[in-house]
Every structure is written in structure tokens, then in C-alpha cells.
């Protein structure tokens, strides 16, 4: 017998207890210091019979919850099996659809949007391509027979291409009904074109939620996310949220940098006062992904979206890393993210716990991202680079795409994470961030310090509820 490598513990001295978590089984226990101490002095098989009744019961609880494993290699085997099962899971098929790469904003941190002639080059899905996407998704549904289909509309600004969004929602909803599966629709939007009509049209088709981006309080947001002419967008977005609140779940996201992070508590205060506050399903902020200025280090360097003077086709940087995992690698960012999560929780608003951050979509074979031209990607982060496409809905592939698909198949940055206890809830971090920053997606993008401080908050939340 030995302690599992996935054990984490947080002392709770004010209660004389210890919070224990096993990241593989997700067991979370608040136990006495004596019980936690058992993990440091596990009895040999011969000694178990000599334990008192209480100690034996405590040991059984620890074994049942995965805190104690029988063999030294048992954890490694479980880890390999866990990632294999995650990768091959067919119970849920996820499709992220980029209806267009055009955008009606001119965010300073994004090369996309209404800057210069970007929208002239940016792809927009045609109805003819959407029909082929529908064929492709239906063929996958017949092959995989999932219980659930999760469809996410994204861009650019997805609401700039409503005909494609409505067509695919209606078609795949009908396809889901014929196959008796549960379909969910999510929309990630800047919120400017969000109307009750859009929500009412999608709601009977399975609308699960709408995620809207607010970059700080009014003044900061208007500076960070203006229209091309410089006009602010905060008030118009808030008016739209008020009109749809109560009709669908709302999530709020936001992108911060060093100049804006301190304005987020004011945004949280503002949200807390709104009539729709109790309809907010989740709030989560993350760092701006931006290229380094000459001589400076970027918070998160951005894949260059303009090469040889021609804009590349890329996804909205609002949500790169929008799965369940933030795409950060910087210590400064770790601290700020935990600060914002704490501030959100303090106001009674829902947010991520900061510990359960993965494995993200890139570790799932049946989570697909489809660009406006029908190209397939392993996750939304890589749509900025046609060289990282893994295939096409038409079934045509070239040797480069086949090589790329094989690289994603073998992707396992967590194998380089040694005996880190967070591996099952992290997976080695955001591979897109590693690819962008380090040029190697198989290198872990580690945000362990953020997870460690989030673990302390989780421990106190769990202890407070017991
Ligand atoms: S690799 Fe990064 S961008 Fe891609 S799904 Fe994972 S967290 Fe998101
Ligand atoms: S990236 Fe860091 S926190 Fe995540 S599993 Fe690897 S070492 Fe642990």
C-alpha cells in the first residue's frame, strides 16, 4: 500500500483538520490530522490486523476514495487509462463552429475585427458549406452514436452570420431528434447583436447558454473593446443582456491585462447590482493573449495574424482557451487570475474553482473545431494557423494535415509533468499557449501556482460547507 500520487492536502489549523483531495477520483474529504497522518505512515499488510477499529475504518475510507493505492505503478496505469478514455470517449460529441472570422469590434489586443481591411479578407461560411458541415456532422453522429451533441457557435463574431447559425441549429436539432440524442447549443459572442429574437429562435433548438465578453468596468471596457470609430460598446451590450436575461443562461467572460485588471472588481460590483445577477451562470476572466512589444515580454504572445502583409485567418482571441482551461503561463497572470476568482466568489457570483481546469478539448478526439471554409482543427486556438489544420469536412487531406493529425493524436504534454498531483485536472495546461509561446505544443504550459492557491480556496469552501 502507498499514498496515491494524486493526493493533495491543505491544513485547516483553525479547525484542527486537513482537507484531502485526490485529483483522479475527485474525492474531497475534511479529516482529522490523525487520519491525514495515516497517509504518511501506512501500515504494512501484516500490521493492518493490529489496527484499532477507528484506524481500520479510516484506512478503508482512504482506500475507497483512491487516496491509497495497492501498487507503486497503479497510479501511472490509471493515468494512462484516464487519458485514453478521455480521448476516445464517444458519449459526447463536441463541435465548435466558426460561422465567420469577421468581427464588428476593433479590440486593441486583437488583430482581427474591424481593423483596416481585415474583414475584406476574413472568411465567412456560406450556406453551401454549412450544408456540407451538416452532412459531415450527421455522418459522425451515425458513426459514434453519442448520447449528447454540444454545438458551440464562435468566430469572429458568430452573430454576423445568422443564416448559417440558424440553418445548422435547425438541421442538427432535427438530426438529434431523429437519433434520440440530447443537443446543446452555446454561443460565444461580443454581445452587440444579441437580441431576444436570436435567443427565441435558438431556445427551442436546445440553446444552453450565451457567453458575452466584458473587459472591465464601463470605461475600461470601452477602451479595450470599441467599435472602429472608437465608440464604446459597454452600454449597448448591457442593454442587450437585460433584454435576454431570463430567456437563457448568461456567462460573462473578460480579457484582462496589466492596465485593466484592477477595474474588474468594479465590474463585479456593477454586475452584482443588476437585476439579472442571479441569472448569471458563470463568470471567468482570463489574460489577454498579445504579442510582445519590441524589447518587452508578452503576457501571452499571440500567434501573428498578419504574415507578409496578408492577414491570416484566425479565431477570436476573446476565447482562445475558452474550453475549461485558461491559456496562461505567466506567474503574474496566475496571481491575477486567482485574485479575480476570489473577488467574484466574495460577491456571491459563480465562477470556476480554479482547480478543475482540464483536460481541455484538445485531449478529446471527438471535440472538433470547424473553420468557415470547412477545415478541421483540434481546438479553437489553432484556427489561426492553416498549417495546424488536421483535415477537411470533405474528407480530403494532404500529407501535411495527416502529419499534423498524428501529432495531435500523440499529444501528451502531461507526460513531462513528472509526479505532479494536478495532472488529471490539468493535463499539462494549454497546448495552444505552449505552441505559441514555446513553439512546442508538447511542452506543459504550467500554471501550478494558480492551481495551488485555488486549492486553498476550495479547501476552505468545502470545509465551510461541512
Ligand atoms: S489547447 Fe488551449 S485553446 Fe485549445 S482547447 Fe485547450 S485550453 Fe483551449
Ligand atoms: S502543467 Fe504544471 S500544474 Fe499542470 S500537470 Fe503539468 S506540472 Fe502540474
- What pLDDT score was predicted for residue 309? 44
Segment 210-228 shows an average pLDDT of 89
For residue 422, the ligand closest to its alpha carbon is 2
For ligand 1, whether the C-beta of 327 sits within 6 Å is: yes
Does pLDDT of 376 surpass 70?
yes
> Whose CA is closest to 175, among 209, 142, 220?
142
For ligand 1, whether the C-beta of 351 sits within 6 Å is: no
- Report in angstroms the alpha-carbon separations of 248 from 176, 180, 281, 316, 428: 21, 23, 10, 23, 33
How far, in Å, from the CA of 144 to the mean position of ligand 1?
Answer: 23
SS3 375: strand
Look-up of cell digits 470517449: 89
How far, in Å, from the CA of 325 to the mean position of ligand 1?
Answer: 7
- What pLDDT score was predicted for residue 236? 95
**Nearest Cα residue to atom 5 of ligand 2:** 423
Tens of pLDDT, residue by residue over 49-93, are 888 898 999 999 999 999 999 988 999 999 999 999 999 999 999
Instruction: Count Cβ atoms below 10 Å from residue 258 Cβ, excluding itself.
Output: 12
- What pLDDT score was predicted for residue 294? 46
Q: In whole angstroms, what is the distance from residue 126 CA to residue 129 CA? A: 5
For ligand 1, whether the C-beta of 441 sits within 6 Å is: no
Does pLDDT of 109 surpass 70?
no
User: What is the rounded end-to-end Cα distance, in angstroms, of the chain?
Assistant: 29
Output 458 or 292, whichever has higher pLDDT: 458
Testing ligand 2's pocket by substitution, the residue of 448, 450, 451, 455 carrying the most ligand atoms inside 8 A of its CB is 448
- Confidence at 330, pLDDT banded by 50, 70, 90: very low
| DSSP letter string, 35-98 | HHHHTTSPPPHHHHTTS-HHHHHHHHHHHHTTSEESSTTHHHHHHHHHHHHHHH--SEEEEEEE
Atom of ligand 2 nearest to the CA of 451: 3
- What pLDDT score was predicted for residue 231? 87
Does pLDDT of 321 surpass 90?
no
- What pLDDT score was predicted for residue 320? 46
Segment 395-400 shows an average pLDDT of 88
For ligand 2, whether the C-beta of 448 sits within 6 Å is: yes
For ligand 1, whether the C-beta of 437 sits within 6 Å is: no
Tens of pLDDT, residue by residue over 114-152, are 556 656 667 889 999 999 999 999 999 999 999 999 999
For ligand 2, whether the C-beta of 134 sits within 6 Å is: no
Atom of ligand 2 nearest to the CA of 418: 7
- What pLDDT score was predicted for residue 256? 83
How far, in Å, from the CA of 433 to the mean position of ligand 2?
Answer: 14
Q: What percent of the chain has pLDDT over 90?
A: 60
C-beta of residue 276 within 8 angstroms of C-beta of residue 250:
yes
Highest-pLDDT range among 9-13, 314-318, 433-437 = 9-13
- What pLDDT score was predicted for residue 342? 87
Tens of pLDDT, residue by residue over 233-287, are 999 999 999 999 989 999 999 888 878 888 999 999 999 999 999 999 999 888 7
- Report in angstroms the alpha-carbon separations of 420 from 70, 415, 425: 19, 10, 11
For ligand 1, whether the C-beta of 300 sits within 6 Å is: no
- Share the mean pLDDT of the chain: 86
Q: In whole angstroms, what is the distance from residue 380 CA to residue 370 CA? A: 8
- What pLDDT score was predicted for residue 123? 83
For ligand 2, whether the C-beta of 429 sits within 6 Å is: yes
Q: Which helix (H) or strand (E) holds 120?
A: helix 118-121
For ligand 2, whether the C-beta of 414 sits within 6 Å is: yes
- Domains along the chain? 2-71 (no CATH), 85-451 (3.20.20.70)
For residue 325, the ligand closest to its alpha carbon is 1
- What pLDDT score was predicted for residue 224? 83
CA 283 to chain centre: 12
For residue 450, the ligand closest to its alpha carbon is 2
CA 412 to chain centre: 17
C-beta of residue 245 within 8 angstroms of C-beta of residue 279:
yes
Amino acid at each position: 500500500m502507498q499514498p496515491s500520487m494524486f493526493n493533495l492536502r491543505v491544513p485547516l489549523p483553525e479547525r484542527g483538520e486537513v482537507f484531502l483531495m485526490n485529483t483522479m477520483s475527485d474525492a474531497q474529504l475534511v479529516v482529522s490530522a490523525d487520519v491525514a497522518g495515516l497517509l504518511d505512515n501506512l501500515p504494512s499488510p501484516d500490521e493492518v490486523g493490529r489496527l484499532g477499529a477507528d484506524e481500520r475504518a479510516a484506512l478503508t475510507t482512504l482506500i475507497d476514495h483512491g487516496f491509497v493505492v495497492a501498487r507503486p505503478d497503479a497510479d501511472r496505469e490509471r493515468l494512462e487509462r484516464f487519458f485514453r478514455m478521455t480521448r476516445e470517449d464517444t458519449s459526447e460529441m463536441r463541435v465548435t463552429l466558426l460561422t465567420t472570422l469577421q468581427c464588428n469590434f476593433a479590440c486593441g489586443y486583437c488583430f482581427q475585427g474591424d481593423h483596416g481591411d481585415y474583414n475584406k479578407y476574413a472568411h465567412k461560411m456560406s450556406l453551401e458549406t454549412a450544408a456540407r458541415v451538416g452532412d459531415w456532422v450527421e455522418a459522425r453522429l451515425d458513426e459514434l452514436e453519442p448520447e449528447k451533441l454540444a454545438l458551440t457557435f464562435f468566430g469572429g463574431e458568430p452573430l454576423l452570420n445568422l443564416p448559417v447559425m440558424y440553418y445548422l441549429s435547425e438541421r442538427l436539432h432535427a438530426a438529434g431528434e431523429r437519433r434520440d440524442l440530447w443537443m446543446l447549443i452555446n454561443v460565444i459572442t461580443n454581445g452587440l447583436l444579441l437580441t431576444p429574437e436570436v435567443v427565441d429562435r435558438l431556445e427551442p433548438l436546445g440553446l444552453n447558454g450565451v457567453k458575452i465578453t466584458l473587459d472591465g468596468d464601463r470605461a475600461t471596457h470601452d477602451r479595450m473593446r470599441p467599435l472602429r470609430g472608437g465608440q464604446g460598446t459597454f452600454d449597448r451590450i448591457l442593454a442587450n443582456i437585460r433584454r435576454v436575461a431570463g430567456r437563457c443562461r448568461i456567462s460573462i467572460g473578460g480579457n484582462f491585462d496589466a492596465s485593466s485588471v484592477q477595474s474588474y472588481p468594479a465590474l463585479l460590483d456593477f454586475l452584482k447590482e443588476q437585476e439579472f445577477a442571479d441569472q448569471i451562470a458563470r463568470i471567468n476572466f482570463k489574460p489577454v493573449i498579445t504579442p510582445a512589444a519590441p524589447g518587452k515580454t508578452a503576457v501571452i504572445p499571440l500567434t501573428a495574424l498578419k504574415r507578409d502583409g496578408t492577414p491570416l485567418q484566425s479565431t477570436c482571441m476573446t476565447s482562445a482557451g475558452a474550453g475549461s482551461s485558461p491559456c496562461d503561463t505567466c506567474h503574474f497572470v496566475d496571481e491575477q487570475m486567482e485574485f479575480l476568482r476570489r473577488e467574484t466568489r466574495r460577491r456571491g457570483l459563480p465562477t470556476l474553482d480554479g482547480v478543475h481546469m482540464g483536460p481541455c478539448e484538445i485531449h478529446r478526439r471527438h471535440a472538433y473545431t470547424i473553420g468557415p471554409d470547412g477545415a478541421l482543427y483540434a481546438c479553437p486556438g489553432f484556427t489561426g494557423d492553416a498549417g495546424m489544420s488536421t483535415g477537411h469536412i470533405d474528407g480530403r487531406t494532404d500529407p501535411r494535415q495527416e502529419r499534423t493529425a498524428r501529432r495531435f493524436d500523440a499529444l501528451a504534454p502531461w507526460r513531462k509533468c513528472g509526479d505532479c498531483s494536478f495532472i488529471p485536472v490539468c493535463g499539462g495546461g494549454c497546448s495552444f499557449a505552449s505552441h505559441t509561446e514555446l513553439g512546442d505544443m508538447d511542452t506543459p504550459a504550467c500554471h501550478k501556482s494558480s492551481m495551488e492557491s485555488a486549492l486553498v480556496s476550495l479547501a476552505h469552501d468545502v470545509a465551510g460547507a461541512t
